[in-house]
Amino acid sequence: MQQLLDGYKHFRSEVFPKRANLFEGLAEHQKPSTLFITCADSRVVPDMILQSNPGDLFICRNAGNIVPPYGETHGGVSATIEYAVMAVGVTNIILCGHSNCGAMKAVLSGKKHDTMPTVDSWLHHSHSALQLLDSEAPQHQRWTEKERLRALTRANVVSQLHNLRTHPSVAAGLTKGTLNIYGWVYEIHSGEIQSFNHVQGRFLSLDDHAPIPVTQPRLQLMAS
Ligand SMILES: [Zn+2]
């Protein structure tokens, strides 16, 4: 806790004064271009990874970067998406998974958690990713755990993109051409982001490939 309080003190005395104009400009309104949906994991820090500023990203975080299908759960994720698109007017939605994700490990293990019924209930929204893995890469049982986790993480991003498109605000934005959606995976150990390319059916490094908006989430899975 002390580390956090020291950080706040530093922010108040050193960081905020230097950027007072930015915060003054943001005090009454925001106009972020992008809704960034990612995992709650402490190692994923969107504003650090993308070097974005306050006001740039509208962020929604939860265990497993999950988007429940529209109508199934009228919860915080659905409300945040609707608000971001309809009221804030974002023009991009980036759904970003990450390496070594605890939520994906739990889904892959298939174990029930007696003491965490809410987690189990939440993670059932990722079972479609597991089904995708089983149907598209039935040989995955012979892969290493690391390879399976890597594939499931990517399948989950693609599955959640499908769910995202069931939300009326998103579907309308895609139809009108006012909204683009992207699926990313962030590699904690290297800092690299890979973006889903639906034409090739795989994830490509942002280091040498520009991201393309996803119009047809279809993934080809392989151990890599
Ligand atoms: Zn995670």
Q: How far, in Å, is the centroid of ligand 1 from the Cα of 214? A: 22
Contact 129, 156 (CB under 8 A): yes
110-159 pLDDT, tens digit per residue, is 888 888 888 999 999 999 999 999 988 888 889 999 999 999 999 999 99
Give me the residues paired with residue 125 across strands.
Answer: none
pLDDT over 90 for what percent of the chain?
79
Q: How far, in Å, is the centroid of ligand 1 from the Cα of 188? A: 11
Q: How far, in Å, is the centroid of ligand 1 from the Cα of 69? A: 19
**What strand order describes the sheet that includes 180-186?**
57-62, 34-39, 92-98, 180-186, 193-197, 202-205
128-138 pLDDT, tens digit per residue, is 999 999 988 88
Domain 32-205 has CATH 3.40.1050.10: yes
The answer on pLDDT for 109 being more than 70 is yes
How far is 110 from 145, CA to CA, in rounded Å?
A: 13
Q: How far, in Å, is the centroid of ligand 1 from the Cα of 46? A: 13
User: For the chain, what is the mean pLDDT?
Assistant: 93
What is the residue extent of each domain of the chain?
1-30, 32-205
How far is 137 from 152, CA to CA, in rounded Å?
A: 10
Q: What is the CA radius of gyration of the chain?
A: 18
